[in-house]
Structure formats: structure tokens, C-alpha cells
Amino acid sequence: MSAAPLLALDAVSKRFVRRLDAAEKIVNLFGGNRREEVVHAVDNVSLQIAEGEVVGLVGESGCGKSTLGRVVAGVHAASSGRVLWRGRDIDSLSGAERREATLKIQMIFQDPMSSLNPRMRVRDIVGEAPRVHGLVSSGEVADYVDRMLLRVGLDPSYKSRYPHQFSGGQRQRIGIARALAVQPDFLVCDESIAALDVSIQAQVLNLFMDLREDLGLTYLFISHDLGVVEHLADRVVIMYLGRVVESAPAAELFADPNHPYARALLEEVPRIDTRKRVFQPVKGEIPSPLAPPTGCHFHPRCPHAMPRCREEAPALREIAPGRVSACHLNEA
């Protein structure tokens, strides 16, 4: 992992602001106290992903992992910070280079129903982008779509059908074929198997791994399912309320989690040998991202919280080669 990273995030933040409407501005004129509501969905995240790596991004719902995936895929623009593709800031690129970088990063979505346009036939869903971008000539689009469908394990004779005529797993394969059709190097999988049956989940996971071998793809695999991530990822990044709290090689993390949140999270992975164990849920609710706790975001729920945790946000520190964690305990 010493080579220049394929994709790097440099202090990326994404804020969602609900601006005041006219009525609230008038209220403020008369001494009201309405403020803009700001959600720091992604807060100052830096991340490097090397070519060929599979990075698992985990966290509770609402921790900003999907938003981070969308920033990487270019669906949302970052509020601050830079997204670097092969060492170059995507925002600074223009024209053909920018298009190239955009196409090289593709996204596989969670909901296989709403991620396919219900009014388009499969051949148009898969074939539209390569045709528009001139990746294939219009005469070859039909053949090209057939190849893409075969690659994801679908029968090309289905290509005149509409998405609603397929099952969930098949629809997800269509979504994958659509992404592959623009010849990406990097796939962001946003809970891509969460909406599928368990048996279908395994098939789609295997498809992801086959594609990785055949096409040399790099993955950012966003999931709340730690079992899947353990099986799949080389490295795992754990997010809590918009911040990265720990990043480590998968085997090390699962063997010995460092951050208290990571530990709490991993204890809840169901395992066959711990079937009789009593579950200890992480205590408390995930705080509102509108008003995150001061200092370390995790301190209200942390069993090891110290007074310092309330005041000072811990920085990510290297605790072992290739392994970082953000906790004050590591300094003690």
C-alpha cells in the first residue's frame, strides 16, 4: 500500500444547511432567535484508498457513511476539503478529464427498485451512458449491453424488459451492469446488499469479488453489516457521527478493536460460538447530528469517558502500522 493512493479524501466535510425562510427572517427582525440548522453529515474526514483495495465503511445509521460515499461518487459536492483521484483534485479538473474521473468512480445503490428508472428498458438503462459518452458506437451498443449483462450473470434476452419485471437480486445485477458499462476502476457500494434476501446477498457478494479479480476493481464498501465487511474488506473504517474513529486492517480490527465505539460495535456481531451470550446494547441513543456532543462525539455513551473527553475532540493517531484510532485513552 505504499504506492500513491487511487483515491484520497483530504479533510472532506459535507454540511447540510436548512436556510431560514422569509417568515423566520422576519421573526428574527423582531427579536426572534431562529438560527440556521446545520448538519455536519461528514466532518473533516481524510482517507486513502489504494488501488485494488477493498475498504469497508461501517457505522450506525445516520453516521454519515452514505453521505461520504456520495461525496466520493460525485453525487454530492463536498462543502470543504478535496477529493483526489490518482493524486489530482477532481474539482480542479475540467472537460474530458473531469468526465473521465467521474466515470471511473461509479456507485451501486441500496434500493434496487428506486435505483433503476422504472420507465426505461434494461437495454437503455445499461446502454445509455456508454452511448452518450461515445464509449461504444451506436451500432455496437446492443452487443455491448449483452456483454455487460452476461458479465453480471443475467440473460441478455431479458434486455427489453422493464425493471419491475425482475426480482430484487436481478435488479441489483442490472444496477451493477449499468455501473460497469462505463468501465469504472472504483465502485462505491452503498449498502448494496442490505435490501436483498440472505441467499441473494451471498450471490451478489460473490459477484463483487469475481469482478474485483477480473477487472481489478477497487471498492468502498459501505455497510452496517459487520459480518459482511469482515468477510470482504481488506481494511475497515469506522465512522461515528460524521467522524472517522478508527481505521485498521480488517483482521486486526476484528481481533482487537481499539476505539471503545469499535469495541462496542464488534461485540454485537452475532457469532455461532457466542450464541448464549447476553447482548449488551451500546447504551443510549445515537445523539442528534444537529447538536452533536462536545469534545469526543462518543463520550456520552462511552464506558471509559474522562472529563477530558467532554472538552477536547481526540485526533486520529497511529497506534500501529497502518492503523489509526481517535481516542484519548491511547495517550495514557
Partner 1 sequence: MASTETPAGGAAPVRPALDTPFRRFLSDFTDSRLAVLAAILLVTIIILAVFAPWLAPQNPYDLAVVSIFDARLPPGSQSMDGVTFWLGTDGAGRDLLSAIIYGLRISLSVGVASAIIALTVGMIVGLLAAYAGGRIEGLIMRIVDIQLSLPAVLIALILLAILGKGIDKIIIALVIAQWAYYARTVRASALVERRREYVEAAACLGLSHARIVFRHILPNCIAPLIVVGTVQTAHAIALEATLSFLGVGLPQTEPSLGLLISNGFEYMLSGKYWIAVFPGVALLITIVTINIVGDQLRDVLNPRLQK
DSSP notation for 159-180: TTS-GGGS-HHHHHHHHHHHHH
Largest CA distance in the chain: 68
For the bound state, the minimum distance from the C-beta of residue 232 to partner 1, rounded and expressed in Å, comes to 20
> Is residue 174 part of the contact set for partner 1 (CB under 8 A)?
no
Q: Using CB under 8 A, count the residues that bind partner 1.
A: 43
d(CA 234, CA 253): 10
Question: 218 - beta bridge partners?
Answer: 186
d(CA 59, CA 255): 18
Q: Which ranges of 35-167 does DSSP label H, i.e. alpha helix? A: 65-73, 95-104, 122-132, 141-151
For the bound state, the minimum distance from the C-beta of residue 181 to partner 1, rounded and expressed in Å, comes to 8
Q: Which of 14, 40, 65, 70 binds partner 1 (CB under 8 A)?
A: 70
> Is residue 159 part of the contact set for partner 1 (CB under 8 A)?
no
Do residues 248 and 235 touch, judged by C-beta distance below 8 A? Answer: yes
Question: 243 - beta bridge partners?
Answer: 240
Q: Which of 133, 147, 308, 323 binds partner 1 (CB under 8 A)?
A: 133
Give the amino acid at 183: Q
Q: Which ranges of 272-324 does DSSP label H, i.e. alpha helix? A: 307-311
> Is residue 64 part of the contact set for partner 1 (CB under 8 A)?
no
Chain positions 199 to 258 lying near partner 1, rule: CB under 8 A, are 199-200
Between 96 and 332, name the residue whose CB sits nearer to partner 1: 96
d(CA 176, CA 153): 10
Residues 82-101 vs partner 1: string with x where CB under 8 A?
A: -----------------x--
Between 156 and 300, name the residue whose CB sits nearer to partner 1: 156
> Is residue 166 part of the contact set for partner 1 (CB under 8 A)?
yes
| Locus of grid cell 476484528 | 254
Do residues 127 and 144 touch, judged by C-beta distance below 8 A? Answer: yes
Residue 118: Cβ within 10 Å count = 9
| Locus of grid cell 473533516 | 44
d(CA 87, CA 114): 34
Strand order in the sheet with 88-89: 37-49, 7-18, 80-85, 88-89
Between 170 and 223, name the residue whose CB sits nearer to partner 1: 170
For the bound state, the minimum distance from the C-beta of residue 169 to partner 1, rounded and expressed in Å, comes to 6
Between 167 and 274, name the residue whose CB sits nearer to partner 1: 167
> Is residue 302 part of the contact set for partner 1 (CB under 8 A)?
no
Give the amino acid at 50: A
> Is residue 266 part of the contact set for partner 1 (CB under 8 A)?
no
For the bound state, the minimum distance from the C-beta of residue 124 to partner 1, rounded and expressed in Å, comes to 9
Chain positions 103 to 132 lying near partner 1, rule: CB under 8 A, are 103, 105-107, 109-120, 128-129, 132
For the bound state, the minimum distance from the C-beta of residue 114 to partner 1, rounded and expressed in Å, comes to 5
Q: Which of 151, 159, 170, 208 binds partner 1 (CB under 8 A)?
A: 170
For the bound state, the minimum distance from the C-beta of residue 174 to partner 1, rounded and expressed in Å, comes to 11
Between 103 and 236, name the residue whose CB sits nearer to partner 1: 103
> Is residue 73 part of the contact set for partner 1 (CB under 8 A)?
yes
Binding site for partner 1 (CB under 8 A): 70, 73-75, 99, 102-103, 105-107, 109-120, 128-129, 132-133, 158, 164-170, 175, 178-179, 182, 195-197, 199-200
